Chain A
């Protein structure tokens, strides 16, 4: 009789467990996509409406039509594409360096009590500092070149990345650390198997914020500093202003915006994937 009862209860247990997130992949992609497309359409409509209102003359504020036509021409121009490539390369190198520095710094500050007391709060302070404020100093230190730009990008992104990791490590549930101890994970093993995976959601949050800071700092650096006569996006935007070429200016803004949004949404996918796996929320609405 006990076994009958047990068998019956096994099904109760099964029913009580949370359902796995499901649904057709295509439908889910569409469900995530359409609000964004609708927002973009609305934005274009407002832009066009402002242009039609005649608030500013066409040569100062052109409408979406001419700007996108110009954008198509731009992409056919090898120098423009080269500019996009230069900017993306700088973003990639600067960001990758910031990730490396931020991660090492975060782990060291988390591990070493003296370091934490010394620079733990400095990392938080650096996060709220607009990194472009370092640019004049960077020019004095390194000259007006790519190194100065990288310096600013890294100072913008690394503290956010270190901060994300640090707060993740600090907020690991104490019971998980105790379980790790009981299972025999000490020192580095405890970090490898328990603390770092537990800190991952917060670390990815830091990576995402770090990217936003890196991208901002890079644009600011490129607009202010003309480096090696290279046609980076930031410089092209500055030239467009100098020549009062509003169509070109807006076309480049669209490119900068789209790159930012695409990379941000990649982080969003990563972030949601991790949070779902970690059980930090149930079903995604």
Chain B
């Protein structure tokens, strides 16, 4: 009955046309007026993400990463160029941004309701989604009764409830302690492999990017554009503390430092 709703992408992720890009950005630029000047946040960004791929964007703060996700989520219009997402899109922020008057289950149910899921099915589906992010037994809790990590789990369940094809994540674990973040990495990876979701994950942490990504795109700062691409071939699940991961992350960090040095030298 409700299982069809929960087969998130398991069927459609690797659909007939595997050549199809799930997400593509073409020469996208974005500029804001700021203090009487035009601030160029993104300049000529081009990237493509295949269906079922997990791609991380890593860049210093101010490199326009969040701006890119907002445009892809349809919250902002680019100044020029285009960003296209094939299918439904969900967005997670650094804050869980749960509606504080709704319980954990209520937050998930609202996403289901806005997607048009029938009332009779919502409760069961929400329960199952919360179960999936290991929040069984916390359905009736209000957001302020949950820890930071649990709130982000609810936010993840809510994003899954949107039945998105593409999940955009804007430093979702940036405010969490290392241990909680580690666990959420595992869970995100598990859900990703179960559902075949396409994920674009933004972070400023090179290790996190290498821990999660099939590919890591290194953003330059001011204006932001894709400066460098690293393919991560380490087997999964990866450990944040493995030496191989540290080597790759170190190279990315060097590049980021170099970028910032160039910016600082101007």
Interface residues of A (CB under 8 A from B): 2, 6, 9-10, 13, 16-18, 20, 173, 175-176, 178-179, 181-185, 189, 193-194, 197-198, 200, 277-279, 282
With contact pairs A181-B75, A183-B162, A189-B114 given, residues A278 and B100 touching in the complex (Cβ less than 8 Å): yes
- Which residue on chain B has the smallest CB distance to residue A2? B186
- Which residue on chain A has the smallest CB distance to residue B73? A182
Question: Judging by beta carbons under 8 Å apart, are A182 and B99 in contact?
Answer: no
Secondary structure call for the A interface = helix
Q: Cα distance A175–B98 when bound, in Å?
A: 9
Question: Judging by beta carbons under 8 Å apart, are B114 and A193 in contact?
Answer: yes
User: Which parts of B72-102 form the interface with A (CB within 8 Å)?
Assistant: 73-75, 89-91, 93, 95, 97, 99-101
Question: Judging by beta carbons under 8 Å apart, are B114 and A18 in contact?
Answer: no
Question: Judging by beta carbons under 8 Å apart, are B183 and A9 in contact?
Answer: yes
Question: Judging by beta carbons under 8 Å apart, are A176 and B115 in contact?
Answer: no
With contact pairs A17-B145, A20-B145 given, residues A182 and B186 touching in the complex (Cβ less than 8 Å): no
With contact pairs A18-B145, A183-B162, A189-B114 given, residues A278 and B101 touching in the complex (Cβ less than 8 Å): yes
Query: Which of B146-154, B209-217, B258-266 forms part of the interface with chain A?
Result: B146-154
**What residues on A are CB-neighbors of B115 within 8 Å?**
183-184
- Which residue on chain B has the smallest CB distance to residue A185? B114
Q: Cα distance A178–B93 when bound, in Å?
A: 10
B106-132 interface bits toward A, Cβ cutoff 8 Å, 1 = contact, 0 = none: 000011001100000000000000000
- Which residue on chain A has the smallest CB distance to residue B93? A175
**What residues on B are CB-neighbors of A2 within 8 Å?**
186
Given known contacts A173-B97, A278-B100, what 8 new A-B pairs fall within 8 Å (CB)? A2-B186, A9-B179, A10-B134, A13-B180, A17-B146, A20-B145, A182-B90, A183-B162
Contact with A176, one of B74, B99, B114, B141 (Cβ below 8 angstroms): B99
Asked if B142 is at the interface of the complex by the 8 Å CB criterion, the answer is yes
**What residues on B are CB-neighbors of A181 within 8 Å?**
74-75
With contact pairs A13-B149, A179-B97 given, residues A184 and B114 touching in the complex (Cβ less than 8 Å): yes
Interface size on B, residues (CB 8 A): 32
**What residues on B are CB-neighbors of A193 within 8 Å?**
99, 110, 114
Number of residue pairs A-B, CB distance < 8 angstroms: 75
Question: Judging by beta carbons under 8 Å apart, are B111 and A183 in contact?
Answer: yes
**What residues on B are CB-neighbors of A9 within 8 Å?**
179-180, 183
With contact pairs A178-B75, A178-B97, A183-B162 given, residues A13 and B114 touching in the complex (Cβ less than 8 Å): no
Contact with B95, one of A175, A184, A185, A198 (Cβ below 8 angstroms): A175
**What 4 A-B pairs have minimum CB-CB distances, sorted nearest first?**
A279-B144, A16-B147, A175-B97, A179-B97
- Which residue on chain B has the smallest CB distance to residue A5? B183
Asked if B143 is at the interface of the complex by the 8 Å CB criterion, the answer is yes
8 contacts between A and B (CB under 8 A): A9-B179, A17-B147, A18-B144, A176-B97, A181-B75, A183-B110, A184-B114, A197-B99
**What residues on B are CB-neighbors of A176 within 8 Å?**
97, 99
Question: Judging by beta carbons under 8 Å apart, are A194 and B150 in contact?
Answer: no
**What residues on A are CB-neighbors of B73 within 8 Å?**
182
User: Which parts of B46-73 form the interface with A (CB within 8 Å)?
Assistant: 73
**What residues on A are CB-neighbors of B144 within 8 Å?**
18, 279, 282
In the complex, how many angstroms separate the beta carbon of A191 from the nearest chain B beta carbon? 13
Q: Cα distance A189–B95 when bound, in Å?
A: 23
B132-166 interface bits toward A, Cβ cutoff 8 Å, 1 = contact, 0 = none: 00100000011111110110000000100010000
Q: Cα distance A91–B25 when bound, in Å?
A: 62
**What residues on B are CB-neighbors of A20 within 8 Å?**
145
Question: Judging by beta carbons under 8 Å apart, are B111 and A17 in contact?
Answer: no
**What residues on A are CB-neighbors of B114 within 8 Å?**
183-185, 189, 193
Question: Judging by beta carbons under 8 Å apart, are A17 and B186 in contact?
Answer: no
